[in-house]
Structure 1
Amino acid sequence: MDAIQSIFNNREIALVVWVIIAIIIGLFTKVGRGFLKSVLPIVFSRKFVVFYIVFLSFFSLTVLYLYHTSFWDLSLLKNTVFWVIFVFIPIFVKTIEDAKDGRFFAKLIKENLAFIVIIEFILNFWTFNLAVEMLTIPIALFLGGVYAVASREEKTVIVKKFIDGLFVAFGIVIIIFTLYNLIRSPGEILNIKTLKEFLLPILLLFMNLPVVYGLALYNTYEQIFVRLKVEPKEQKKFKRLLFRFAGINLMKVTSLKNNLMRTTNLSKTAEELKQNLREFERYLNTRIGDNYMKRPQFYILSCIIMIIICLSGIIASNSTVGLKDLVTFNFILDIAKIKQIVTYVLSTALAISICFLIYLIGFRKRKYEEISQIKKFALQDLLLLIKYQNRMLQDFPPVEDPQKLFAQYISIIYDIKRECDKAIVTYENLLTYWELETLKRLQTYTALLISTIGIDDIESYSAEEFGIFFNDKKTTSIQNEKINIYTSDVERDLKKYSEQIKLCMEIFKVNV
């Protein structure tokens, strides 16, 4: 046991034990075997297996490189395995669902470089004894399940608040315990080994981003290819033309996927597709929302590349060692005349590049503020409605009180649907494609909710008349022991609608 604890901490041992118990239960129960039979064919489908091979090959090369630079050794094997299981696999799932452009990857990097990552690393560094950790995991899972159920209904909100309090108390205990250990033995965390353990997941993420990007690209192309409705002999030509058009530009591929009605759906032959792609290219080039920030982004990227080149040149010009030592910053300065000249030139270029970078970051911010103001002016009526609706949102929509529901949701939903329709038609060219996609989703959810409610024109209804209509629909709807189908459908659609309102607040940066 001591040998195991020298490799794994108590929390990791407890986690592994409970995972093994869960697997055993899954293998020897009917429900577990049924779940595995439904999931395993998907997880080990041919396309996923190909990705696993590609990822493991690329991942092995990155680890081999880190080993070659003396950063990685066997003491980091455990951290590496845990990173793959608990970080990369969730990223794999998120990539399939959400990766549509560079914003996804920028957000991914920000999340992994945020200050909270350092806090979490420190909090997880010290653990309780094994018995406490073994008890903590099932209790946390149980409370998490109860919390999820209690969050669904207003009558169980007291249970939800009680569990919130338990989690806060437990968090305070962990923080106090960690601070005590940090003060008592700071040397345990302030050393090279700990620094490597902290930097390893960040390095692995950055070095494996090409695989994640490739997965997103492959997944998006697959969604396009499966929708091709042409003769088999034309499919290969279509695929070549589509790839030649979008290449490895994920944003362009996603735009293509979202506009198949303009391209593939209108094309029966390769020649027709060529013509439609040319027209679609012209359409993309005239989109203000997607193109307005391209020039400052290009300038900033150029400055960053120039800074990297200059720094690399300065180091190379003042070093007598090889590439491996340069990468690991293990070099010795040389004062040779020629190298001094190169250093002076590159230092000047470095200073200029940094000055330009600072200026262009400000330039980009100014241009972003300009386009944001234009959008806010153009979408003023819609954004005011979204802001108002966001203030009226409730954790539990008042479906049991139709008149209150009418005032807080229904009367606003129809106005938002009308403004959404107008904004999408009028200002499509002004919006970036993800802003447009966000509004289209809001349009879809409002339309779905209006269809579920069953009223085409809400303006002819007062709050009292809506209450009568709602209660009539509720009475005549199918009802089982606990659930009324009508109110259940309204609640479901209101939840989707509320989430989209919050997303619009975030995307369009509407002031609360």
Structure 2
Amino acid sequence: MDALQNVFNNREIALGCWVIIAIIISLFTKAGRSFFESVLPIVFSRKFVVFYIVFLSFFSLTVLYLNHAGFWDLSLLKNTLFWIILIFIPLFVKTIENAKDGRFFVKLIKDNLAFIVIIEFVLNFWKFNLVVEILIFPIALLLGGVYVVASREEKNVIFKKNLDGLFVIFGIVVIIFTFYNLIQRPEEILNIKTLKVFLLPILLLVMNLPVVYGLALYNTYEQVFVRVKGEPKERQKIKRLLFRFAGINLTKVTSLKNNLVRTTDLSRTAEELKLHLREFEKYLNTRIGDNYMKRPRFYILSFILMIIICLSGIIASNSTVGLKDLVTFNFVLDIEKMKQIVTYVLSTGLAISICFLIYFIGFRKRKYEEISQIKKFALHDLLLFIKYQNRMLRDFPPVEDPQKLFVQYILIIYDINRECDKAIVTYDNLLTNWELETLKRLQTYTALLISTIGIDDIESYSVEEFVIFFNDKKTAAIQNEKINIFTSDIERDIKKYSEQIKLCMEMFKVSI
């Protein structure tokens, strides 16, 4: 046990024990065996295995580079393995689902550099003794399960609030315990080894982004290629033509995927596709939402690159490291005059680049405010309904009270659906791809709710008429002792709709 604790801390040992117990139990249950039988063939399918090989090869190169640079050593092996299991595998799934353009990767980096990451790192640094850690996991799992069940029904809201209070008390105890250790033993966290442990996940994430980007690119291209039509030889030509058109630009490939009706669906030959791609290129160039911020972004990235070049040149010109062996990190430059000239030139370039960077950051902000104001006026009615609906959202939709449901949800749903239809058709070129996709999902969820309700023209119904209609459908629906299919479908659709309303509030928060 002492040898094990020298490698793993108490929390990791406790987690490992419970994972092993869970796997053993699942192997002796029919549901567990069925799960493994269905999941393992997918996890170890040919496409995934190829990706694992590519990822592990690239990942090994990044680790070797960090080792060569003196950052990584065997003491970080455990943290590296945990990063693969706990961060990269979930990231793999998230990338397949959500990666559509550069915003996904920017948000990914921001989330991992957020202040909360530092707080979590500090809070997780000190552990309780092994017995306490082993007991914490089943208790936390049980409380988490109970909390999820309690969150589903309004009758359990008081119990849910009590659990919230219990979690707050536990969090306060953990914070007090952590900061007590930080004050008593600051040397345990304020050292180079701890800094490396903290920086390792961030470095691994940033250095392995090319693989994650490649996965997103491959997944999106696969969704495009599956819709290609025509003879086998023509299909190969069409695929090559599509790749030459979009290249490794994920945003452009996503635009292709979202507009297949304009391109591949109409093309049986490569020549037909060429004509449609020319038209599609014109369409992309007219999209104000996607193109409005291109110039500020180009300026900002250009001057960031200039600053990096100037700083690198100044450091190289004023150090004992020379130009000859720059690539091999073993060089000497002793031409003093050349150093002085390069230093003056690059210092001037650095100052100019910093000034222009600050200017163009302000320029980007002004352009962003301009386009936000334009969208605010163009989408005024839709954003107003979304804002109003967000205020009316409830943790538990009143599906058992049709009068409240009508006032708080149903009337607004029809208005939002109508405004979504108008906005998508009229302001397609004003919206960015991700904004357009968000509104299309909102349109889908409102249409699904309207279909479930079964009323085409809600304006012809008063509150009393809707209550009668709702109760009649509820009575006629299939039901058992606990579930009525009609109200269950309404509740399910409203939850999806509510999540999309919150997402729209987040997406258009500047305009609302």
- RMSD (Å), alpha carbons: 1.9
Task: Report the Cα distance in structure 2 between the residues aligned to 1:249 and 1:461, rounded to whole angstroms.
Answer: 49
Distance change in 2, residues 1:141/1:328 (3 Å): farther
Equivalent residues in 2 for 1:83-102, closer than 5 Å: 83-102=83-102
Cα pair 1:402 1:466 within 8 Å, conserved: yes
Task: Report the Cα distance in structure 2 between the residues aligned to 1:123 and 1:108, rounded to whole angstroms.
Answer: 22
Task: Report the Cα distance in structure 2 between the residues aligned to 1:333 and 1:117, rounded to whole angstroms.
Answer: 42
Task: Report the Cα distance in structure 2 between the residues aligned to 1:332 and 1:468, rounded to whole angstroms.
Answer: 88
Shift of 1:22: 1.5
Task: Report the Cα distance in structure 1 between the residues aligned to 2:476 and 2:111, rounded to whole angstroms.
Answer: 49
Q: Deviations over 1:43-80 (max 9, x none)?
A: 00100000000000000000000000110000000110
Instruction: Give the match for residue 14 of structure 1.
Output: 14
Instruction: Give the match for residue 75 of structure 1.
Output: 75
Q: More deviation in 425-434 or 161-170? A: 161-170
Task: Report the Cα distance in structure 1 between the residues aligned to 2:321 and 2:126, rounded to whole angstroms.
Answer: 40
Cα pair 1:319 1:334 within 8 Å, conserved: no
Cα pair 1:318 1:334 within 8 Å, conserved: no
Instruction: Give the match for residue 259 of structure 2.
Output: 259
Cα pair 1:98 1:104 within 8 Å, conserved: yes
Instruction: Give the match for residue 356 of structure 1.
Output: 356
Shift of 1:479: 0.5
Task: Report the Cα distance in structure 2 between the residues aligned to 1:270 and 1:313, rounded to whole angstroms.
Answer: 48
Task: Report the Cα distance in structure 2 between the residues aligned to 1:131 and 1:112, rounded to whole angstroms.
Answer: 31
Shift of 1:29: 2.2
Instruction: Give the match for residue 283 of structure 1.
Output: 283
Q: Confirm or deny that 1:141 pairs with 2:141.
A: yes
Cα pair 1:101 1:251 within 8 Å, conserved: yes
Instruction: Give the match for residue 312 of structure 1.
Output: 312
Amino acid aligned to 2:306: M
Shift of 1:328: 13
Q: More deviation in 151-160 or 105-114? A: 151-160
Equivalent residues in 2 for 1:216-227, closer than 5 Å: 216-227=216-227
Task: Report the Cα distance in structure 2 between the residues aligned to 1:167 and 1:249, rounded to whole angstroms.
Answer: 45
Instruction: Give the secondary structure class of the aligned counterpart of 1:128.
Output: coil
Task: Report the Cα distance in structure 2 between the residues aligned to 1:7 and 1:330, rounded to whole angstroms.
Answer: 36
Instruction: Give the match for residue 2 of structure 2.
Output: 2
Identity of matched residues, %: 84
Instruction: Give the match for residue 429 of structure 2.
Output: 429
Instruction: Give the match for residue 505 of structure 1.
Output: 505
Equivalent residues in 2 for 1:93-112, closer than 5 Å: 93-112=93-112
Shift of 1:153: 1.0
Instruction: Give the match for residue 153 of structure 1.
Output: 153
Cα pair 2:421 2:443 within 8 Å, conserved: yes
Cα pair 2:322 2:332 within 8 Å, conserved: no
Shift of 1:101: 0.3
Distance change in 2, residues 1:322/1:279 (3 Å): same
Cα pair 1:69 1:328 within 8 Å, conserved: no
Task: Report the Cα distance in structure 2 between the residues aligned to 1:89 and 1:394, rounded to whole angstroms.
Answer: 34
Cα pair 2:58 2:208 within 8 Å, conserved: yes
Task: Report the Cα distance in structure 2 between the residues aligned to 1:430 and 1:95, rounded to whole angstroms.
Answer: 27
Amino acid aligned to 1:35: F
Task: Report the Cα distance in structure 2 between the residues aligned to 1:327 and 1:498, rounded to whole angstroms.
Answer: 55
Q: Deviations over 1:404-448 (max 9, x none)?
A: 100000011111111111111111111111111111111111111
Distance change in 2, residues 1:274/1:120 (3 Å): same
Q: Deviations over 1:251-277 (max 9, x none)?
A: 000000000000000111111111101
Task: Report the Cα distance in structure 1 between the residues aligned to 2:56 and 2:125, rounded to whole angstroms.
Answer: 28
Shift of 1:321: 3.1
Q: Deviations over 1:114-158 (max 9, x none)?
A: 011111111111000010110111111111111111111111222
Instruction: Give the secondary structure class of the aligned counterpart of 1:342.
Output: helix
Instruction: Give the match for residue 393 of structure 1.
Output: 393
Amino acid aligned to 2:253: V
TM-score by length of 2: 0.97
Task: Report the Cα distance in structure 2 between the residues aligned to 1:332 and 1:247, rounded to whole angstroms.
Answer: 40
Instruction: Give the match for residue 113 of structure 1.
Output: 113
Cα pair 2:246 2:253 within 8 Å, conserved: yes
Cα pair 1:121 1:198 within 8 Å, conserved: yes
Shift of 1:168: 1.1
Equivalent residues in 2 for 1:32-51, closer than 5 Å: 32-51=32-51
Cα pair 1:382 1:416 within 8 Å, conserved: yes
Equivalent residues in 2 for 1:431-470, closer than 5 Å: 431-470=431-470
Amino acid aligned to 1:113: L
Q: More deviation in 362-371 or 137-146? A: 137-146
Task: Report the Cα distance in structure 1 between the residues aligned to 2:178 and 2:160, rounded to whole angstroms.
Answer: 27
Task: Report the Cα distance in structure 1 between the residues aligned to 2:73 and 2:402, rounded to whole angstroms.
Answer: 64
Instruction: Give the secondary structure class of the aligned counterpart of 2:230.
Output: coil
Distance change in 2, residues 1:222/1:373 (3 Å): same
Q: Confirm or deny that 1:491 pairs with 2:494.
A: no
Shift of 1:334: 7.2
Task: Report the Cα distance in structure 2 between the residues aligned to 1:319 and 1:409, rounded to whole angstroms.
Answer: 68
Cα pair 1:387 1:510 within 8 Å, conserved: no
Cα pair 2:393 2:408 within 8 Å, conserved: yes
Task: Report the Cα distance in structure 1 between the residues aligned to 2:335 and 2:349, rounded to whole angstroms.
Answer: 20
Give unpaired runs (5+ residues) of structure 1.
Answer: none
Instruction: Give the match for residue 345 of structure 1.
Output: 345
Instruction: Give the secondary structure class of the aligned counterpart of 2:208.
Output: helix
Task: Report the Cα distance in structure 2 between the residues aligned to 1:431 and 1:402, rounded to whole angstroms.
Answer: 36
Q: Deviations over 1:433-466 (max 9, x none)?
A: 1111111111111111000000000001011110
